[in-house]
Amino acid sequence: MNILGISAYYHDSAAALIRDGDIIAAAQEERFSRKKHDARFPVHAIRSCLDIGQISMPDVDHVVFYDKPLVKFERLLETYLGFAPKGFRSFVQAMPIWLKEKLYLKSVLKKELAALGSTPPLLFSEHHQAHAASAFFPSPFKKAGVLCLDGVGEWATTSVWLGEDNQLSSQWEIDFPHSLGLLYSAFTYFTGFKVNSGEYKLMGLAPYGEPKYVQTILDNLIDLKEDGTFQLNMRYFNYAVGLTMTNRQFDKLFGGPPRPAEGTLTQREMDLARSIQAVTEEVVLRLGRTVHKELGVDYLCLAGGVALNCVANGRLLRENLFKDIWIQPAAGDAGGALGAALSIWYEYLDNPRQVVNGTDMMQGAYLGPHSDEDEIRRYLDSINAPYEYLADDELFPKVASSLAEENVVGWFQGRMEFGPRALGGRSIIGDPRSPKMQSVMNLKIKYRESFRPFAPSVLHERVSDYFEIDRASPYMLLVDYVKPEFRLPLTEAQENLFGIEKLNVPRSKLPAITHLDYSARIQTVHPETNPRYYALLKQFDGLTGCPVLVNTSFNVRGEPLVCTPKEAYQCFMRTEMDYLVLENFLLSKHNQPEWAKDEAWKQEFELD
């Protein structure tokens, strides 16, 4: 039985295909359309999933959408009525879209599916049910508590579930407008970053600040109870009825208007980032304690956009409330497509669920398309790009040696990752021991803010040699600390640096992946899920004695992760990467023909 899950029309549209309970494919529409966070119907992602599954639309038994649009419309109307006459302008802007598309979503979906070849039976899951299913059903746990935290679904913004065998039972929820995700997004907006995409920038900025606004937030913005439940003071927010996240009362509370996009980052923004991160962690910890107490479970699963806050996840893990936690790697709305499909297979169709050897079902999150050697060779030959084709026993030593010489390598291997993290399928990699690597990657390759940290990829069996974490972290969703023996002591002058001045002070013997507070967002690499990336790390370890590489996503600021060899080559040529590896094809930058940079591209992505 083939079940196709779809998420669309809000942000991060995606499709997922499961067959007899096995995850066959999953991908986000943005990777094909090249429009970041694309919300349109995921026609390209669906075609990709069908191609990977070697089927066509008539072979699909069920299609399921991750949301109930009529319930969401009910929430929209009730909110506008509840706040009237405020919000009339927003209401007038929203209604035409709803009346044209979203209110009649069933008809819209049937029309889109018919254009792909057929209209199988169409089902709808609830938004948080899809999140919960994406977290529990692929997890390695037979029984677990499930905590879903996001901006808002239909009504729910926070929900707790009990997952056991093939069923999820809803325990309780917190409803809109009271939302931890929207509270965090309000600070994302206020500090000058883009909502729904800049939240991770806020998290990365937090260690540069001091938590001086924590009490202000707790006294004015959020009424946080001991059990983690909360209410927001809507006097300070505009998102329920307006076109912005915050209002003038919020401005007054924090000493001025929001930072303009691309404006200078000041100490205020750094302190706000640190403060809202601290509050978020406290909410997550209290909710975790409540789930453990109420459900009496040893394991916890997480999903929803807030579950991408890997600093909070690391804190929750170190609290030792649970024997282990598991986070859906596509925790945001994209993962709802997968969760909706799994919910139909297990809950609606009542199929049995088996947990195999304590491993999850996500296959390392390598669920997208891959490019074979013929496709790569045809493309490179068509543009007359010089390359070497090397067998593995030549390729891995040569790439490892190039990395050890502080070269930056574009690494394009196997199936594309599902979710926001590059995990060694579509990655840019470098030597973590290099003191200049973080700056080079941020400013010359990623064209992004200099404060942004980079993540380490580490051989799974060596992770505890370098970091304080004691378990696998294959999806780069847990933050933990570099071990004390690798940290570098600070001079008195360095200790007294303030804010962004701290940026260029090396914190450890692996400076490129160590954040200001000695933390790192860790990815463990496993031979079962990514044997080629694992083999490269092994080779680098043998050459340098270091089993760690810098790993960042293969894209530049404002663009989605690359999907095809053509996009990888264009990104390679537009940036100051030194080498590109496309499966077994190795390209050196200095051998390539002159590349005429597109001026519009330069203006859009270069920070200066």
Q: Which residues pair with 160 in a beta bridge?
A: 147, 172
Going by C-alpha positions, the residue among 457, 455, 462 that lies closest to residue 479 is 455
Q: For 131-168, what is each residue's pLDDT tens digit?
A: 999 999 999 999 999 999 999 988 999 999 999 999 99
For residue 53, is pLDDT > 60? yes
For residue 321, is pLDDT > 90? yes
Which of 151-155, 187-191, 583-587 is the least confident region? Answer: 151-155
Going by C-alpha positions, the residue among 214, 213, 194, 212 that lies closest to residue 202 is 194
Residue range 267-285: mean pLDDT, rounded: 97
The two tokens of residue 348 are: 């609606």
Which amino acid type is present at position 117? G
Question: Beta-carbon neighbour count of residue 59 at 10 Å?
Answer: 16
Q: Which helix (H) or strand (E) holds 315?
A: helix 310-318
For residue 564, is pLDDT > 70? yes
- pLDDT for residue 568: 98
Which of 66-70, 87-91, 209-213, 266-270 is the least confident region? Answer: 87-91
State the pTM of this model: 0.93
Q: For 443-477, what is each residue's pLDDT tens digit?
A: 888 887 777 779 999 999 999 999 999 999 999 99
- pLDDT for residue 451: 77
- pLDDT for residue 605: 43
- pLDDT for residue 11: 86
Q: Is the dihedral of CA 430, 508, 276, 155 positive or negative?
A: positive
Determine contact, residues 189/272, Cβ cutoff 8 Å: no
DSSP conformation class of 369: -
| Dist CA 310 CA 315 (whole Å) | 9
HEC string of 143-210 equals EEEEEEECCCCCCEEEEEEEEECCEEEEEEEEECCCCHHHHHHHHHHHCCCCCCCCHHHHHHHHHHCC
- pLDDT for residue 539: 98
Phi-psi region of 126 (alpha: psi -120 to 50; beta: other; left: phi over 0): beta
For residue 206, is pLDDT > 50? yes
For residue 72, is pLDDT > 60? yes
When pLDDT is cut at 50, 70 and 90, the band that residue 599 belongs to is very low
The mean pLDDT value of the chain amounts to 92
Domains and CATH numbers, the chain: 2-130+334-356 (3.30.420.40), 373-605 (3.90.870.20)
Q: Which residue has the tokens 């404002």?
A: 558
| Dist CA 597 CA 484 (whole Å) | 44
User: Does residue 499 sit in helix, strand or coil?
Assistant: helix
For residue 507, is pLDDT > 60? yes
The two tokens of residue 99 are: 């009346």
Q: Which residue has the tokens 């050196």?
A: 588
DSSP conformation class of 123: E
Backbone torsions φ then ψ of 92, nearest 5 degrees: -65, -35
| Dist CA 605 CA 602 (whole Å) | 5
| Dist CA 57 CA 36 (whole Å) | 26
Determine contact, residues 356/141, Cβ cutoff 8 Å: no
| Dist CA 559 CA 9 (whole Å) | 19
When pLDDT is cut at 50, 70 and 90, the band that residue 240 belongs to is confident
User: Does residue 87 sit in helix, strand or coil?
Assistant: coil
Query: How many helical (H) and strand (E) elements, i.e. helices and strands, does the chain have?
Result: 21, 21
- pLDDT for residue 69: 81
- pLDDT for residue 575: 94
What is the share, in percent, of the chain residues with pLDDT greater than 70? 96
| Dist CA 151 CA 160 (whole Å) | 15
| Dist CA 276 CA 214 (whole Å) | 7
When pLDDT is cut at 50, 70 and 90, the band that residue 101 belongs to is low
- pLDDT for residue 601: 45
Q: Which residues pair with 163 in a beta bridge?
A: 144, 168
For residue 402, is pLDDT > 60? yes
